[in-house]
Structure 1
C-alpha cells in the first residue's frame, strides 16, 4: 500500500511540475575529494606569496639580529636551561677535590698558605697512592717556611700544577721552575658576556708555533693517560687524542656570536655533568688524617680554594636557579672539564657539535616558513593556539633531544622566526579575510562593493559606461546542508565558485557575498540582452548535477540583475543591493529566468524591512490574537476540536494577512516567541472551554508548530511548562507538523516526536502529500493524525484531473486507516467535496463550508448551541 501511494503521488507531481526529470538532466559526476583538493590548492596559491614574503623578511631580519649578537643572551639562557635539565646528580668516581674553605683558612691563620702546609698536604696524599695530584693553587713565589720541602714534594711525577698566562698588560702567574713543563697547565676560564662560564681553553699556540701551552685540565688528562695514549695532535679545527677528535669552538658555534678575539685558541664548551661532580674533603681533613684512604687511591686529586672570598669562584649555568652558593669554584670547574675529557677519550662520549652557519640559516628559514603555514591553515583561534603550543613544544623538544646527544643548535632564532612569521601572516590573513571569503578565496561583499566603487572612480572623468551586476543565489542550500552535512554544503559552494570562475575571464569580477550567494559585475555592457543570455547560461551551467560521496546533488540557482551607468551618481553598494532585490523578486515569483531590477522593487524591500520592525513592535505591544476554526466530525456533525490560527491587527497597519507576516517571522526567528505565545494562549483557551462545556470526548486544540520551533533544543521542556501553567492534560493539545520539518533529519525528528509523545500530546502531520515523501518512515512516526492538504481536496470536483486528486485523497485516507490514524481533510468549501469525503470514509473535516476561523467569543457561542452545524 505504501509503495502504491508513493508511486501515485510521485508520478502525479512529476507530471505536473515545471522541473525536468533526472533523466533529462545531463549528469556531470564530480569527485568531491579531488574538487576539495583543487579548491584547497587554489587557496594555498593565494596565500603562498604572503607566506614566502613573510618567511624571507623575518628570516633575513632574524639572521641579521643573530649575526649582530642581539639574540646571544636569549640563546645562552636557553642553553643554561637545557644544561640544568640534562645534568645528572652522580659524581665522577675518578675525582676527589681537596678544598680550601673558609674554615681551613681561619685555622691556618695565614693566607696565602705557607709552602710547608702545601707540602704536608701533598705528602699526606702521596702516602695513599693517588693516580694524580693537581695543585690548583698558584705558587709563583715562595711562601716560607717550608719552601725546600715543597720543592721536593713537587718533584713527584704524578703532580700537575697550575699557572696563569699573561693577559694584556698583566704578566700572568708562573709555576715553580722545578716542575717540568709537561706537568704545568694554564688556568683560563673565559667568561661570557653575561658573566657565566660555559667554555674553556684547552690549548693555545703562538702564530709562529714556537710557544705551545696546554690548559691545566688538559695536562691533567694527558698525564692521567700517559700509559694509554700514543699521540696528541693539533689541527686548526680540532684537537686529537689518539683517534678521538675534540672539536674546537668558533665564534658562531651554537648560539654564540663572539668577537673573533674571544674565540682564539682551541676552546670547547664545558659539558657540565652535575653540579656536584666530585667527592670533597677539606684541607683540615687531610692535615689531620681524618679521611678514608680509599677516597684517594688511584684517584685524580684536585687541590683548590672554594671560598668565594678569594675570588676564585664563577657563575655557571646552575647559577640562575640558585639562591645561595650560586657560584662554582675554579677547582670544581676544572674537575668538570677533566671528567668531560676523560669521558670523551675513554668512554667515547661525544663532545659538543654544531651546525655550519649555512645550515643554521636554513633551519631558521624552515621554522619561519612553518609559522606562516600553521597560522594560515588554522581556521579557528583555539586551533591556532593549540598548533602554536604544539609547534613551540616540538621545537624545544627537538633542540633538547639533540642537546642530550651533545648537539647545540639554535633555539631562540627559529622560535622567533616561527612566531614573527606567524604574526605577519596572521596580520595579512586578518586583512585578507576582511575582504575575502575564507572558503572559496573569492572577494566578499565588502571587497566587491569597494571594487565597484573604484571602478566608478577610474571612469569618473571618462565617458560613462553601463555596468551590470548579477546576484546568484543557490536554491535549497539549507536543505542540502542539513540533509548531507556541512561538508557537502561547503563542497557545493566551492564547486559553484569553480564553475563561475570558468565562465569569467578574471576572478576580480566574482565574489561570494553571502552564505549561499555569489555576485558578478560586468563592464562595459553594450546590450542588456547579452547579460540576460549570459545569466541564463550560468543557470544552466550551475544546475548541472554534482556527485558527493555517492549522492547526487541537483543544484538550482536564482539570478537577479541590475544595471547602472558609471558617473557621479553611481553607487556600487546600491547596484549590488538592487541585484539582490531582483533575485529575491525572482524567488517570490518562483521564476526560473533571471529577473532584472525595476524601479519600485526596492520600495518593496523597504516595505518588508518596515514589516519586520512593526512585527517586533506588535509582539511587544501584544497586538496578536488567536482565531479558532472548528474541526467537524463528518459522521456526527459535531465539533471535535479547533485549530488555533494567529491573526495580527496592527495599530499602524490594521489587519495583516498571515501570508504576509508569517514568512517574515520565520525568516527573522520571531516565530519562536510568537509560537510560544500561541501555545500558551491556546492551552489557556481550551482549559476554559473544558470547564464551561464538559463533554465526552473532550475537545482537542490543534496548534501549528513552525520549523524554527521544532528545532529549538528546549521545546519539550517549554511545552511541559505551558501545560503545567494551563493546568491541562497533554492529550488535549495536538501539534501539527509538516512533512518537510520531519524529513530534514529523520532520526532526530523521531526522537523528538517520541519525547513530545511522552508528554501525552497528540501529533498530526499537516499538509500530507505536498512535502518530502515520508512514506517509508511513516510507520515509525508516533503520530495520531494525517491532514489531507486543501490543494488535493479543492480539486476533487472540477477539472479534467479531478479523478486523480480523488485517487490521491482515497489513498491517503486508506493509508491512515491502515495505520490506525485519524484523517482530517482541510479546505472543505462545498457540499460536493464533503459528500466525496464521506464516501471515502474520511472521519473529520474543516473548512469554510462549516465555519471560517472565529474569535474566541464567536467560537464559544458556537459551542453553546445545541446543534453547532
Structure 2
C-alpha cells in the first residue's frame, strides 16, 4: 500500500487533515507521536501519516526527517496556512513550486546581501498541482465545512507559484522585512515558516516526492481580525482539501501496485487450489489430454480369456445335468472327487473342473504368466497346482481384495495355502471423486488397526512393515523374471519412502508416486499407498472401434480355448512370452469402471478385467519398450507458476489499462499459449501440469487491476 506523510505545524492544520482520513490511530517512534490512518480515492488505498511539528523550519525539517525514517513514504505534503504577499486573497490556496529561505545571506556594514537557499517541490507533484488548479474538483472535498464559513471567503483560487519561508512572523506590509522580501524575492506570493525545512528533509531522501501547500489565512494586515473571523480554519481546510485532491490523482508506483496484486493473487489462488476447488476442472482437462493421445496398437504380449455370460450359463446347465444323472442335488454338491480338484460353490462363475481344464490348456501352450482376475472360493489343493505349473515354466498370480471399512465390505481373501507374498496381488482400484479411474496402485499398506483388516488374509506375511503389491505389479514382476528381464527394483521397504525403478540398457525408468507434493491437478488429502498415473491405451482390433477394451492383442472366450482344434485361431497362437489374463466381464462378477474415455456409446465404462490389462501393459511396456510413464507436476512448481502468471496478469493490466479490448485479447493469447505449453509438456515430456490454477492467477490478477482502473474511472466521472 502506498504511503504519504502530511506535515503540519499547528493543531488547527492537523485537525483539518484528519477530516480526510479514516481509521486514525496514534503511534509513537523515538519520542514522537504520530497519527496513522487510511485514505481511499480512485481505486487506491493510501497509508497516511500525520505529523505536527510546531513552528519553524528547523523543527519542521528535523521532525519531517524522523517521519520519513518511520513511515518510509512515497510522498510528503506540507499542509498549512500562510500570509499572502501579493496577487492572492483570503481563502486562496498556494502550491509552492519553490520555497525561498529569505534569511540566508551575508550582513555587511552597508546592507544585507542575499544568498538564498531554495527548496524545490518535486516536478511530479508540481505538475499534478497545476493540473488540479485548472479544475474545481477539489472544492467537492469542502462539503464538510459549514456554509457560514464558506461565505467568508468565497470562490477560492489555486496558485502554483513560489513562496518565501523564514523564522519570523510578518504582521505588517510596512515592515522592512516585508519590503526586503518584495524587493529580493518579488515572485513569491506568500510567506510562511516551515516549508523550507520540510523540502530540505525531502531533498535528503531522493525517493520521496514533496510539495508545500498553503491556504492564505491573512494578507499581513488585519491579521488579528482575520483570524478571529475564522480565516485560519478556512485556509487550513482548503489547503488540506486541495492536498488530498492532489494525492487522490497520484498513481502509486506501478511496481508496488503490480507487486501487491501479484502477491495477493498468488496467496488467494494457492489457498483455493489447496482447498481442492480446481480439481474437477483439472481432471476434466486431464481427461481431454488423455483422449487427445490418439489410437495405439494393442499390447502383443497380452491375451485375455473371458468367462462370458454364455459360458457361465452353459456350464451351469451341464453341471446340473451331471448332478441329476449322478443323483446329486444343487450346486453345493461335490463332483466326482477323482476327476475334480475344487468344489462348484455358490457364486463361482465356472465349475472347478472347467477352471482346471482351462489352466491346463494354457499350460500346454507354454504360457509365461497367467493372471487369474476372478474371485471364487478355493480349497487347499490349489497350491499344488500352482507349484506344478511353476515347475513347467508357467506362473499363476491370484487376486485378493482389501476390506473396506467405509462401505462395510469384508473384501476377498486369497486362495488358502498360497503364498500371498509370492503369488497374490491386490485387485483394488483407486477411483476419483467422479468415479473415474485415473491412477494405478503399485503397493499399498494394510491398516492393521481396523478390525476387518485383522481378520482378512489379504495381506503379506510381515504386513506391518511390508506393503501389499497390486495384482498388475505382481504379474509384471513375474513376467519380467520369467522372460529373463530385470524386475522393477524397490529401494526402501517403507511405502512412503520407497523408490521403484527399472533399468534396461543403461536407460532408467522410475515410477513417480503421487504424493502431497507430486500431484498434478489433484487435491489429495491422504495418499493411500504408492500409486501412479494410468496412461490408457486406446486401441483398435480388426473391424472393432477404438476402445480401452482392446488392450489385449487377442481376446478369447472360455469355449474358444477349450474347444480349439488344429485349425482354430487360438491353437495357432504362440503363448510363449505372453501374459494371459482370465476374468469374468459380467456385471455380477466384475467391477464396472469408468475411464477418461467413458461415454454412452462404444466407450462406456468397462469391466475391471480390461483395466487390469491396461495397468499390466503400462508397467511391462515401460520396462521393456521404454514407453514413457505419465508424470505429474509438483505443488511447489505449481505455486511458482501461479506467481508467474499472476505477475503477467498484473503487468498486462497495467500496460493495457486504457484499452479493455486489447487487454482481453492479450490475456486470451497468454491463456492459449499456456494451454499449448501444457499440451507440449503432456505429449512430448509426458508431464501433467496444472492448467486451471495458473490461469486463475492470470485472470484474477488482470481482472483485479482492471477493476481498479474501472473504479478510478467511475470515481473520477462521479467527481466531475
Normalised to the residue count of structure 2, the TM-score between the two structures is 0.50
Residue matched to 1:258:
524
* Alignment partner, residue 501 of structure 2: 240
Larger radius of gyration: 1
Structure 2: which 5+ runs fail to align?
A: 1-249, 318-347, 449-462, 539-547
592, 608, 618: which one aligns with 1:340 = 618
More strand by share: 2
Distance 1:351 1:370, change over 3 A: same
What is the alpha-carbon distance in structure 2 between the residues aligned to residue 251 and residue 88 of structure 1?
32
Seen in structure 2, the aligned counterparts of structure 1 residues 149 and 160 have a Cα distance that, compared at 3 Å, is closer
- Distance in 1 between residues matched to 2:579 and 2:524, nearest whole Å: 34
Q: Is the 8 A contact 1:115 1:150 kept in 2?
A: no
How far does the alpha carbon of each residue in 1:511-558 deviate from its partner, in whole angstroms, 9 at most, with x for none? xxxxxxxxxxxxxxxxxxxxxxxxxxxxxxxxxxxxxxxxxxxxxxxx
Q: 1:151 to 1:364 in 2, by over 3 A?
A: same
Q: Does 1:272 align with 2:551?
A: no
Matched, 1:215 2:479: no
Partners of 2:713 and 2:623 in 1: CA distance: 60
2:392 is the alignment partner of 1:117: no
- Pick which of 204-213 and 82-91 moved more: 204-213
Q: How many residues align?
A: 395
The higher relative CO (CA closer than 8 Å, separation ≥ 6) is in: 2
Q: Which residue of 2 aligns with 1:78?
A: 285
- 1:323-472 equivalences under 5 Å are 323=601, 326-378=604-656, 379-404=658-683, 405-433=685-713, 450=719
Query: Partners of 1:251 and 1:327 in 2: how far apart?
Result: 29
Which residue pairs with 2:295 in the alignment? 88
- 2:375 and 2:562 map into 1 onto residues whose CA distance is 20
Q: Distance in 2 between matches of 1:410 and 1:220?
A: 32
Q: Which residue of 2 aligns with 1:193?
A: 433
Q: What is the aligned partner in structure 1 of residue 592 from structure 2?
A: 313
Aligned residues of 2:400 and 2:425 also touching (Cα < 8 A):
yes
Q: Tell me, what secondary structure is at the counterpart of 1:257?
A: coil
Aligned 8 A contact 1:54 1:372 in 2:
yes
8 Å CA contact retained: 2:649, 2:697:
yes
Aligned to 2:413: 174
Alignment of 1:464-863 (within 5 A): none
Residue 306 of structure 2: aligned partner: 99
Query: Is the contact between residue 233 and residue 241 of structure 1 (CA under 8 Å) also seen in structure 2?
Result: no
Aligned mates of 1:82, 1:44 — CA distance in 2: 44
Query: What SS class does the counterpart of residue 308 from structure 1 fall into?
Result: coil
- Alpha-carbon contact 1:134-1:160 (below 8 Å) kept: yes
- What is the distance in 1 between the residues matched to 2:444 and 2:384? 32
CA distance in 2, matches of 1:117, 1:155: 22
Q: Which runs of 5+ in 1 are unaligned?
A: 1-42, 437-445, 451-572, 574-869
Q: Which residue of 1 aligns with 2:559?
A: 284
- Paired with 1:155 and 1:99, the residues of 2 have a C-alpha distance of 26
TM-align CA RMSD: 3.2
Contact 1:134 1:300 in 2 (8 A): yes
| Kept in 2: contact 1:305–1:312 (CA 8 A) | no
Q: TM-score, normalised by structure 1?
A: 0.42
Q: Does 1:165 align with 2:402?
A: yes
SS of residue matched to 1:166 = coil
Whether the 8 Å contact between 1:136 and 1:304 is mirrored in structure 2 is yes
Residues 444 and 469 in structure 2, CA contact (< 8 A), matched pair in contact too: yes
SS in 1 for 2:631: coil
Shift of 1:383: 3.0
Q: Distance in 1 between matches of 2:487 and 2:472?
A: 18
Return closer, same or farther for 1:234/1:308 CA change in 2, 3 Å cut-off: farther
The separation in 1 between residues aligned to 2:398 and 2:352, in whole angstroms, is: 14
1:476-531 deviation line (CA, Å, top 9, x unaligned): xxxxxxxxxxxxxxxxxxxxxxxxxxxxxxxxxxxxxxxxxxxxxxxxxxxxxxxx
Q: Secondary structure at the match of 2:688?
A: coil
- CA deviation string 1:116-161 (max 9, x = no partner): 12112212222222222111112343599x9998996688642212
Offset of 1:355 from its aligned partner?
Answer: 3.6
| CA shift in 2, pair 1:109/1:44, >3 Å | farther
Q: Residues 385 and 100 (structure 1 numbering): CA distance in 2 closer, same or farther, change over 3 Å?
A: farther
State the alpha-carbon separation in 1 of the partners of residues 499 and 312 from structure 2: 41
Looking at structure 2, the residues matched to 194 and 318 of structure 1 have their Cα atoms a distance apart, in angstroms, of 13
Q: Work out the CA distance in 2 between the residues paired with 1:284 and 1:135.
A: 17
Partner of 1:843: none
**Cα pair distance change 1:212/1:361, threshold 3 Å:** closer
CA distance in 2, matches of 1:150, 1:351: 32
How much has 1:322 moved relative to structure 2? 4.1
Write out per-residue CA displacement over residues 327-368 of structure 1, whole angstroms, 9 at most, x where no aligned residue.
122121111111111222223333333343222111111112
- 1:177-199 C-alpha deviation (Å, 9 max, x unpaired): 35444222111111111111111
Query: Measured at CA, do residues 63 and 230 of structure 1 come closer, stay the same or move farther in structure 2, by a change above 3 Å?
Result: closer
Q: Could you tell me how far 1:225 is from its partner in structure 2?
A: 0.9
Between Structure 1 and Structure 2, which shows a larger proportion of helix residues? 1
CA drift at 1:411: 0.8
Q: How far has the Cα of 1:211 moved from its partner?
A: 3.9
Question: Structure 1 residues 46 and 80 mapped into 2: Cα distance closer, same or farther (>3 Å)?
Answer: same
Q: 1:386 to 1:137 in 2, by over 3 A?
A: same
**Residue among 233, 249, 254 paired with 2:514:** 249
CA contact (8 A) 2:300 2:552 kept: yes
2:151 maps to: none
45 and 312 in structure 1: CA distance in 2 versus 1, 3 angstrom threshold:
same
Residue aligning to 1:580: none
